[in-house]
Structure 1
Amino acid sequence: MKNVILTLIFLGIAIFPGIAQKSKKGFPAEIGMVSYTYRHSFQKDVAKTLDTIKTLGITDMEFSNLFGKTAQELRKLLDERNMKCSSFGVGYDDLVNKTGEVASNAKTLGASYVRVAWIPHKAPFTLEVAKKAVEDFNRAGKILKEEHGLTFCYHNHGYEFQPYEKGTFFDYMVAQTDPKYVNFEMDILWVFHPGQDPAKLLNKYGKRFKLMHMKDLRKGVTGDFSGQTPVENDVALGTGQLDLPAILKAALKAGVEHYYIEDESPSVSSQVPQSITYLKNLSL
């Protein structure tokens, strides 16, 4: 009788593997944080803000501002808390004109990536602006990689998805930048807002995406190519319009290395814990 039961169990597993293999609960990658989420708090007290973020279980940071500290001072505060800075965000002008200084600060912080999140332009975004950005990114990215061992990433912001030829300006930028020196950070809201599908874009360009900003857009909001929306339209993950399970599955498959929560809203104290809970309970 015992052998019969075991045989039936074995046959059940073989025929219906879902019985034995349930979806693993919880997003499997480390959850990081963009400093911009806590920008107002960081401006008042960097140390206390780091304590708050660590209390949430987050130790991986992307800094876009030194908040009045030197890179050395900020690194000390991180080290004291066993936290790290994996990506350092800078302005376009600093990337182009102060590449060495940017690299020095990034390496002092312990970052592996340097990121730019906005290309200066007057709307609409044009081919001329895209060409200049490609030139600047290739040049600066080569310096960062060959002279400093750092990887440059450009963070999309929505305006790049205006139509161009058979695709978009974003497609043009991916095609024209050297993958040895230029990669990308996907801000999923700023892919969705101008009408694109983040999961499809991840499937299309795979490993060109090294970093990700995880955020969600309030239901009912209609997007455009402006790269702007009121900060109140940032909502807790899983409560907005984006298909986060599909996006994050595609990101894991593409090999995205760092995932940062970014919430620009004034409701960070309630929304960030809600977003973390959502990710911890997500089944992929």
Structure 2
Amino acid sequence: MSDSRLTNSQLSRRTALRGLLAGTVAAGALAGSAGVAAGSSAGWRRIPRSKISIQLYTLRTLLEHDVEDTLRELAAIGYRKVEMAGTYGYSAAEFRELLDKHGLRATSSHVGIDDGPLDSLVEDAQTLGNQYVAVPFADFDTIAEWRTFADQLTEAAKAFRAAGIRFGYHNHDHEFREISGTKPFDVIAECTDPRLVYFELDLFWAVDAGEDPVELFRGHFPRVRQYHVKDRTADGEMVDPGAGVIDFPGIFRATQHGRLAEYIVEHDEPTDPLGTARAGYEYLANLRW
């Protein structure tokens, strides 16, 4: 695929998850026991509830039928922030009205840089009240194409920065697979202006690719501004935050100095979207390390 446009089909592309971790590097991101993964580690550090968000793609099956009721349920759980993935037939202004009505803020959005004219994308982000906008997916066959895409990211970031919005990229696992000896993620990091393009680090996909999220964070400091928090069983199944083996307390402890802006709950294919939303919020709100 050589088009960075975000489509619903691309977003649902990964219903079949990979198996065991590749290599021992990612083993450092796994908890030593289910108790740790469940957030039972003692300590006094915590995630401020004001930094907990949820990617609305998690709830797309509900939003497609009733946007307002879904937003109402999220607010009742305790969320005050959401990350957008489309407006489900509403204009940006109309969706903003619904968010305001239920005490929610769309501080972040997923937007493909080919989703429309750049000035329109920036205008919609401003209307929604976004502080961060990230490209959620891109995939190319050659490193040359990845370099071209990196240039596009930088140019788009300039337009968003002029509007006071941070612009970045959200990873999956394929960006860490080498093409002609080079990882696409490294191309993005090296070929974009670090003052303009930030990273939204998806912890599940990083671990699934055999990467150590802490080393990614440190190696690209201070560019990682958001985490996607979704969990993984030992055999690669995606599960709700706290239900798997990823050592979130260890990751958060090691990277707390970075002052991340948001910890965003997500699940690509939840069987119970509101159940996932509830489990994710409760896990992050009650986690101590």
| TM-score interval (norm. to shorter) | 0.7 to 0.9
Larger Rg: 1
Asked whether the 8 Å contact 1:217–1:235 carries over to 2, the reply is yes
1:1-284 aligned at under 5 Å gives the runs 23-24=43-44, 26-28=46-48, 30-94=51-115, 98-121=117-140, 125-146=141-162, 148-163=163-178, 168-221=183-236, 233-264=237-268, 265-284=270-289
Cα contact 1:206–1:255 (8 A) shared by 2: no
Report the equivalent of 1:5. Answer: none
Q: Is the 8 A contact 2:107 2:130 kept in 1?
A: yes
Supply the distance in 2 between the matched residues of 1:159 and 1:253 (Cα, whole angstroms).
Answer: 28
Q: How far apart are residue 235 of structure 1 and its match?
A: 0.7
Aligned counterparts of 2:46 and 2:260: Cα–Cα separation in 1: 17
> Percent identical across equivalent pairs?
29
How much does 1:40 deviate?
Answer: 0.7
Q: Please report the TM-score for the alignment, with normalisation by the length of structure 2.
A: 0.79
Q: Secondary structure at the match of 2:79?
A: coil
Measure the CA separation in 2 of the matches of 1:247 and 1:165. 31
Q: CA offsets, 1:6-47, max 9 Å, x none? A: xxxxxxxxxxxxxxxx72264335211111011111111111
Give the TM-score normalised by structure 1.
0.81
Give the Cα–Cα distance (whole angstroms) in 1 for the partners of residues 276 and 128 of structure 2: 28
Deviation by residue 1:92-121 (Cα, 9 ceiling, x = unmatched): 412xx5110100000000111111111143
Q: How far apart are residue 246 of structure 1 and its match?
A: 1.6
More helix by share: 1
Maintained 8 Å contact 2:200/2:226: yes
Q: Deviations over 1:223-264 (max 9, x none)?
A: xxxxxxxxxx32121221311112222342222211110012
How far the C-alpha of 1:164 sits from its partner, in A, is 6.2
Take 1:199 and 1:275, find their aligned partners in 2: how far apart are those partners?
21
CA distance 1:89–1:37, change in 2 (3 Å): same
Aligned residues: 246
Whether the 8 Å CA contact 2:79–2:281 is kept in 1: the answer is: no
Kindly indicate whether the alpha-carbon contact (under 8 Å) linking 1:207 and 1:256 is maintained by their aligned counterparts in 2: no
Q: Decide whether aligned partners of structure 1 residues 47 and 135 sit closer, same or farther in structure 2, where only a CA change above 3 A counts.
A: same
Contact 2:214/2:251 (8 A) holds in 1: yes
For 2:204 and 2:226, the matched residues in 1 are separated by: 14
* Residue equivalent to 1:226: none
Q: Which runs of 5+ in 2 are unaligned?
A: 1-41
Whole-Å separation in 2 of the counterparts to 1:77 and 1:60: 13
Shift of 1:207: 1.5
The secondary structure found in structure 2 opposite 1:152 is strand
Q: Does the 8 Å contact 2:59/2:274 carry over to 1?
A: no
Deviation at 1:82, TM superposition (A): 1.9
Tell which has more relative contact order, 1 or 2 (C-alpha 8 A, sep 6+). 2
**Alignment-mate amino acid for residue 90 of structure 1:** V
Rounded Cα–Cα distance in structure 1 between residues aligned with 2:102 and 2:126: 18
Separation in structure 1 between the aligned mates of residue 254 and residue 85 of structure 2, nearest angstrom? 26
